[in-house]
Amino acid sequence: MPRRGDNIRKRTDGRWEGRYPVTSADGKKRYLSVYGKSYSEVKEKLTAKMYLLSTRESPAMLAAQISDEMQIYDTGFCVLVEEWLEEIAQSRKYSTYIKYKKLYTCHIQNLFFSDTLSQMSDSHIQIRISALKVSDSTRHSVFAVIRQTLQYAEKQYGYPMPVITGYSLQKRISSVEVMNRTEQTRLIQFLYSDMNISKAGIYLCLFTGLRLGEICALKWADIDQDRGLLHVNRTVQRIESKEGPTKTILLETAPKSDFSKRALPISDTLLSLLKRFRQEGHEYVLQNNKPMEPRTYQNHFKKYLEEIHAPNYNFHILRHTFATNCIDSGMDIKSLSEILGHSNVQITLNRYVHPSMDTKRKYINALSADYGQLCGQA
């Protein structure tokens, strides 16, 4: 509740807000705000603001001051997004910049093209985003761009950033499929029949959890035969090109995060398998002297699935299946998290570890057997 006469209140986000009236050059009366962590801080700011406004030498100077403070509120939100994108163009990874720019042009620009910064309240953002007919992952990424733009406005112009809450900001954990034991067996048998380097790469992903971009960028120098280690040092992806004769380029970069750059142990079986296909002078594992095109390798995988009459899985199912198999075999979460290249174990638990139906059935059968013994029915 505001204290009588001082127009100061405590907001729901925990901050204190003090409001003061101003009259702009067009004669309209509006309210501006100052913010702080405590009542006393806001009271001091409000007193100083009112003193400055009351001691202006002329109405023109007062109008100019008010105009400057109100200008950011009336700035188009999309104008600020474009300004923020220019700001990060040189400091972020090129692939990240392109991703954010595409989110803006495909979604944000259409949703907020007529909105000013002052309209970007929590409820307004939630309503607009909920209308997007996109995946949860894309919706979360759109929120990330909006949030970072508002943070930019706060840092650059002193605009008080609204608190964005609600279910939409919670990155939803959707269940993902894993290959069952029968499908895994059929795939492994197919890979070993007439084995080649392309099939060996699929086999490697099934038993190490490598991402598609990581296997496509893997070099022979990344495999330490003596120590039995595989080093993940880079990834490759096709992204939009800012300039040049083609619309897209195949970009080889460092892994998606510092944690993704990792060393993981590989079995003697895998080492022996890979050694069969290593040739002198070849730099990359899958394709001689250049990284493999991820879309091409994804198509290879889909053809293999057709051969064994398996569902049309995405390549990432190999990673999900690997993680689930590790958990089922008793691997601790911390070790698995580091092998997968996650920043913390919670990501591993929430996103990639999904008990298989075979595992669930094993526990249910074990429980039934225990009850059967109690009832004398074993």
pLDDT in tens, 71-127: 556 678 888 899 899 888 878 888 888 889 999 999 998 899 888 888 888 888 888
- Same structural domain for residues 198 and 304? yes
CATH number at residue 258: 1.10.443.10
Residues 206 and 304 in one domain: yes
Say what the pLDDT of residue 168 is.
46
pLDDT of residue 219: 96
The yes-or-no verdict on residue 360 having pLDDT over 80 is no
In a domain, 115, yes or no: yes
154 and 93 both lie in a single domain: yes
Q: Bigger pLDDT: 254 or 354?
A: 254
Domain C-terminal end among 71, 91, 107: 71
If asked whether residues 43 and 112 sit together in one domain, one would say no
| pLDDT, tens only, 226-266 | 999 999 999 998 887 666 556 788 888 888 778 889 999 99
* Local confidence band at 36 (pLDDT 50, 70, 90 cut-offs): confident
Predicted local confidence at residue 70, as pLDDT: 47
261 and 197 together in one domain: yes
Q: What is the pLDDT of residue 317?
A: 95
Tens of pLDDT, residues 41-71: 888 877 877 766 665 544 545 445 544 554 5
The residue ranking higher by pLDDT, 170 or 283, is 283
Do 151 and 236 fall within a single domain? Answer: no
User: Could you tell me if residue 372 is inside a domain?
Assistant: no
| pLDDT recorded at residue 233 | 95
Model's pTM, two decimal places?
0.64
Same domain, 229 and 301: yes
Q: Does residue 232 sit within a domain?
A: yes
Residue length, the chain? 378
Q: What is the pLDDT of the chain when averaged over all its residues?
A: 82
Q: What does the pLDDT average to over 333-362?
A: 79
Q: Which of 39, 71, 103 is the last residue of a domain?
A: 71
Residue 147 has pLDDT above 60, yes or no: yes
Number of domains the chain contains: 3
pLDDT of residue 200: 96
Judge whether 20 and 46 are in contact, CB under 8 Å: yes
**DSSP structure class, residue 343:** S
92 and 148 part of one domain: yes
CATH assignment at residue 91: 1.10.150.130
N- to C-terminal Cα separation, the chain: 68
The two tokens of residue 49 are: 């603001």
pLDDT of residue 210: 96
Strands 248-253 and 235-240, sheet pairing: antiparallel
Any domain includes 369: no
pLDDT score, position 261? 93
Choose the final residue of a domain: 263, 280, 310. Answer: 310
Instruction: Tell me what percent of the residues of the chain surpass a pLDDT of 90.
Output: 36
Under 8 Å between Cβ of 192 and 315: no
Task: Identify whether residues 213 and 286 lie together within a single domain.
Answer: yes
Helices (H), the chain: 39-54, 59-71, 77-88, 94-103, 109-112, 122-130, 136-157, 181-192, 197-206, 212-216, 268-275, 294-307, 317-328, 333-340, 345-347, 357-374
Domain boundaries, position 15 = 8-71
Q: Is 137 part of any domain?
A: yes
pLDDT at 371: 67
Is residue 16 within 8 Å of residue 37, measured between CB atoms?
Answer: yes
Whose structure tokens read 């923020």?
Answer: 84
Say if 317 falls within a structural domain.
no
Same domain flag for 147 and 221: no
Residue 284 reports pLDDT greater than 70: yes
Measured CA distances, 304 to 181, 348, 349 (Å): 17, 28, 29
What is the per-residue pLDDT for 140? 86
Residue 349 within a domain:
no
Pair (239, 213) in one structural domain = yes
Residues 6 or more apart whose CB falls under 8 angstroms from that of 15 comprise: 35, 36, 37, 160
Say if 359 falls within a structural domain.
no
Span 200-225, average pLDDT: 96
Query: pLDDT category, 167, cuts 50, 70, 90?
Result: very low
Residues 129 and 220 reside in one and the same domain = no
Please tell me the predicted confidence (pLDDT) of residue 78.
Answer: 87
